[in-house]
Structure 1
Amino acid sequence: MEIILGKPARVGKTYAPVGQCIYCGAKEWSEERSRKLGDEHVVPEGLGGRIILPEASCKRCEEITSNFELEWLRGAYYTVRVQKGLGKKKKRAPRFVNLQVRKNGKTIWQPVPIEKYPAMAVTLVFDKPDILSDCAPVEKRLSGGVAIGTLPSFGQLLRPYWPENEVSWVPPRNTATSEHLGRMLAKIAHSYTVAEIGVDGFKPFLKDIVLGDDTRCLGHYVGGTRDIPQAIDDVYDVKLTIVKSTANREYLMVTIRLLSDVQGMPEYWVVVGEPSNGGSA
């Protein structure tokens, strides 16, 4: 059973200021510098995120969340999001991405302008979070299958290199892991829930996961579906829902689609916590 709370997130919205870090509770940006808390982009700005939660993150937590987001933004999602023009608009030097081409028995690395690169987003698909089956939390690595999202221009840009040659794709950064992705999804889900129902509106499950203090049971709360949905017009899709587990326990869950206008990108399910009676809508 799934009940959607309100409407799906608008692609662009600024909420009321929070006044405390939504991850650690700090009331100041840092001890060394007096300034207001940082604004939190629920979906990373590099993925087109324009849902903003003002005064919601301290300096330390900003650095933590930025580090794991960049693993995917500058890795597997990089070429697709750059070709789509997502992220900060600033003048840059020409950018090239290496394409590994095997031709006549020889392997060469061919630098290709990023605008002409046959871009794909290679990401992960997961099964539903274990908590929905009322399993006890167990320590295990977040794992699943692979999903590939491609832009309509993919075939045309690939044509100069294939089928005469073997082609391999290597992202500019290849250190991204399932844990980085899981923590990014947890951060999106937690911050969106705070935006919608307030910091006191639920008992949160994900703070330690976001901050990296305890990620041992990541798959207990973060998962998804292996059924790939059709692409939509919006670049992302976020919804806050109430779901019931097998044993009829009620949880708050956020469904997340990133690069959702790219065919082949999956849907993620993140159980963020339990409802409480002290929330603010």
Structure 2
Amino acid sequence: MTHGPTHIPSRGICIYCKRSEVRLADEHILPYFIGGAHILKDASCGDCAKITSNFEREVSRDLWGDARVAFDAPSRRKKKRPKVILMPDQYNPGQYLRIPAEDYPAAMVFYRMHKAGILQGLPEQVDLSPKWELTSITDTAKNERFTLKYGQPPIVRFRHVPDSFARLLAKIAYGQVLCSLDPDDFRPVCLPYILGQKKNLSYIVGGRWSYPEMQPGIGYEMRTNCIRFPGRLLIIVEIQIYPNNGTPAYHVLVGDVEGHAESDRVFAKVEATYSVDVTDIGLYKPVADDAFHWMPSSWPLPAWAD
């Protein structure tokens, strides 16, 4: 994450549809429901906010709902948050145990992903999401206490929402780039996927298959990375939510810039954590280290629709 001000000034337009003569609302780069503190001021019109709110809600309530209750995660409606969680009684079919929220060892579910299709040189039609694997953060000690107290192991409940989760990652990545760039500085390859106009999220969203080392005390981390090669600049964002718990790391191809002069201008403006220059694509060899999971493994990249 950039270390600039918590509030990033408005660009005067909706960052999604670029309308200006409408009322604009603030946009959390990382959602408030998982502790996001960086805000793009006056950034989203009402129509676009409805679109992004829908997939954010699916992640917050369906994928992470019980976990957010159990861990008392941020919420604008804490007074309406349930005090107990109903869990099926494994020894009495049709019956439920009323578990105080603080006792329930809910799991925070994530997806493990391979490299985004576009960075593998795959056609946009190839959907890699069936290969994504579910993984979770669990509190082993809390699980043991629960089993001892209630006489049965906990049952984890969630709804599988891979597309909404990937759209959330794309939205986070797009907001991260807009901390230093204007919407017109680059071609936002990720935008049609955020707005639901394109469906194969695995084309632009991927991840590191191995787990990064835990980073105690860090709640979330985003990095803007740039790859420069002849006549084009690629802008890729790395995302890790709750790195203090050893969660997966992800990457999103946010956009690109064409032309030597324009690429140089935008590169000088973007606040990049890492940058790589590829002067001769023919001699390029992908980096084997999984830490650089966001580096392309095949060149040239396929063309994408405008």
Which residue number in structure 2 is paired with residue 9 of structure 1? 2
2:179 to 191, 195, 198: 195
Q: Within 2, Cα distance between the matches of 1:220 and 1:100?
A: 38
- Match of residue 37, structure 2, among 50, 55, 80: 50
Q: Does 1:98 align with 2:81?
A: no
Alignment of 1:48-197 (within 5 A): 48-88=35-75, 91-93=78-80, 94-103=82-91, 106=93, 108-140=95-127, 142-143=129-130, 144-151=132-139, 154-160=142-148, 164-171=151-158, 174=159, 176-197=160-181
2:239 alignment partner, one of 251, 256, 274: 256
Rounded to whole Å, the distance in 2 between the matches of 1:260 and 1:76 is 18
Aligned mates of 2:153, 2:95 — CA distance in 1: 11
Contact 1:68–1:184 (CA under 8 A) maintained in structure 2: yes
Question: 1:178 Cα shift?
Answer: 0.8
TM, length-normalised to structure 1:
0.82
1:22 counterpart (6, 15, 38): 15
Aligned residue type for 1:178:
P
Match of 1:230 among 193, 196, 213: 213
Q: Cα distance, 1:257 vs. partner?
A: 1.1
Q: Indicate conservation of the 8 Å contact 1:124/1:145, yes or no.
A: yes
Q: How many residues align?
A: 260
Q: Which residue of 2 aligns with 1:273?
A: 255
Letter in 2 for 1:25: K
Please report how far the alpha carbon of residue 117 of structure 1 lies from its aligned counterpart in structure 2 after TM superposition. 0.8
2:245 is paired with a residue of what secondary structure?
coil
Rg (Cα) greater in structure: 2
After TM superposition, give the deviation of residue 269 of structure 1 in Å: 0.9
Structure with greater strand percent: 1
Unaligned segments of structure 2, at least 5 residues: 271-306
Task: Tell whether the 8 Å contact from 2:66 to 2:157 is kept in structure 1 after alignment.
Answer: no
Q: Which has the higher helix share?
A: 2
> 2:30–2:172: 8 Å Cα contact kept in structure 1?
yes
CA distance in 2, matches of 1:177, 1:206: 19
User: What is the aligned-residue RMSD (CA, Å)?
Assistant: 2.8
Give the deviation of 1:190 after TM superposition: 1.1
Q: Percent identity?
A: 26
TM-score between both structures, scaled by the size of structure 2: 0.75
Q: Which runs of 5+ in 1 are unaligned?
A: 1-7, 30-34
Q: Say which SS state the counterpart of residue 6 (structure 2) adopts.
A: strand
Deviations 1:125-149 (A, max 9, x none): 1101111122221152623011111
Deviations 1:59-111 (A, max 9, x none): 011111011011111122233334444323655154322223313x7564212
Structure 1 residue 156: deviation in Å?
Answer: 4.7
- 1:147-198 per-residue CA deviation (whole Å, 9 max, x = no partner) reads 1112475335423357x53542223xx2x52111111111111121122222
How far did 1:16 drift?
1.6
